[in-house]
Every structure is written in structure tokens, then in C-alpha cells.
Amino acid sequence: MVCHHGAGSSARSFALLAKQVAAFSNADCGVLAFDARGHGKTTSTEPEDLSIERLTSDLVNLLSTVFADPAAAPTLLLVGHSLGGAVIVRACPLLQERNYKIAGVAVLDVVEEFTLDALPMMHTLLATRPQGFDSPEHAIQWHVKTNAIRNPDSARVSVPAIIVPNPVPTQQPPYLWRTPLHSTAPYWTSWFTGLSEKFLSARTARLLVLAGAERLDKQLMIGQMQGKFQLVVLAGVGHMVHEDDPASLAETLVEFWRRNERVVVGVKKVGDL
């Protein structure tokens, strides 16, 4: 499984999920998660560019480097949370053009129409976040108390990766956000525009995992009725579905992977007509 995190997050948000995937798959399936540019420990000498085209190119180039020979590469299941979902559905056909075997695409808690409608409220929501924190412990506590992450075990692993020491030690607060989401605003609309169409047109099995209630746009509702993808709604989780309930999501992903990684001749993949 190749996991791409959402905006402002990091590869460590998949840490507990990876542990559960290993357990449910009996270690048959590996997990590759990475920090996108501008996130986590990834640094770049180039000007910051978080366009969807650049992020997609980064993923394709990374996999082409890690698995230099497509013929010898394992079958890949692309998993993307929020922004990561937009990246993986764009990367899928590009990887297939290079002859990589793609078992499926799994998009976690992002729907084009719902997300685009919510974007105008994002500045208000971000304004309610603290500018920074006194310590990593305070950052973890804030995420858990506000239900930004509902799983304290995951928060302890993932939150330290999304904050950095203040570059000016004499200034407050001592820890700042690694990726200031306000600065990514110019990219928001382009990230998610066309997501539903690209998801439904992916030439592989398709899985959409949502948090709580179903929030499908018209294209996805029609696609679901036509059996073009598998829909799973997890209960008791927030937007960070992979952190809030890694066990349930891992079970879903491993079942999806097993069903589509070793397809018996004559048996259709999920989403095939």
C-alpha cells in the first residue's frame, strides 16, 4: 500500500494503520508512506510548489525511484487521505503508463462537491486554531481535546511530525505548525476540482471510505448505483479516519487488496463493469 497523507499532515499519520495492515495481512502486504513536499521532514531547494501537478509528479517520481523496474515491482494499492486522494487518482494512470501494476485506488474521506463547498469556511476554521504550542505534549492534547484526532495513541505518534521549533527561539510560541495551511489556500480549488471524474475513470478497482454519514455528490451517487466503486462508511470517526480507527480501516483495506491483488481469471475486480 502506498499512502499519501492530506494537507498539513505527514507520513506518520499512517503509523498505526501500517501496524494493523501488517497484522490483518499476516505481513503479506507492506506499507510505504512518505512526507509530501512542504510537509514532515521533506525539504526542497526549490520554491514551495504545492500544486496538484507537482504533488502528483512527486509521487510518480518517488515510486519510479523506489521501484525502478516496473516488471519486478510489487502490485501497488494507492491510498490517499483528503488531498492525498486527489493525488493518487491522478497518479494512477501515469503509473499504469509506465507499466506498474495497480491493484486499486482507495480514497479516504474526500468528496469533490462537498469539499469545494466547504472551502470558503476553511479560513474561518483555520483562524480558530492556535498559532502554535508550548510543547509537543500541548499540541497532542489540543488535537485530542478538539477531536481533530480522536485516537490518543495515534496523536502521540503523528502530531510531533506536524510541528517544528520556532526558528526564532526568543519568540512565542515555542512550536509552530510545520505547514501553515493558510499559505496553501491558492491551491485548494485546483486540488479537488475533477476529483470525482478522475476517481470514477480510474482503470482499476476503486474504494471510497467516508467518515460517519454518506456525503456523495451527484457523480458519485450515480457511480455507486452503477456499481463502479466500493463504498465503506466508518462509524465513530472524524476526518482523520486512518488515525481514529486504524484497525477497522486496515481490515477494509486488506480485504480490498486481497480481492484485487490476486484476481482469479474470469472474476471481475471491484468497480469493473
Residues classed as catalytic: 82, 109, 239
Determine the residue type at 104.
G
Closest C-alpha among 241, 173, 181 to residue 210:
241
Long-range contacts of 22-28 (CB under 8 A, 24+ apart): 23/250, 24/250, 24/251, 24/254, 25/254, 25/257, 25/258
226 and 200 Cβ atoms separated by less than 8 Å: no
- Strands across the sheet containing 163-165: 132-133, 175-177, 163-165
CA distance 24 to 252: 10
- Strands across the sheet containing 102-108: 32-34, 2-4, 76-81, 102-108, 205-211, 230-234
Report helix, strand or coil for 96. helix
Residues 6+ apart with CB under 8 A from 7: 50, 82, 83, 179, 181, 184, 191
End-to-end CA distance of the chain: 24
Q: Residue 18 corresponds to which cell in the numbers above?
A: 501500517
162 and 9 Cβ atoms separated by less than 8 Å: yes
Work out the number of other CB atoms within 10 angstroms of the CB of residue 51.
12
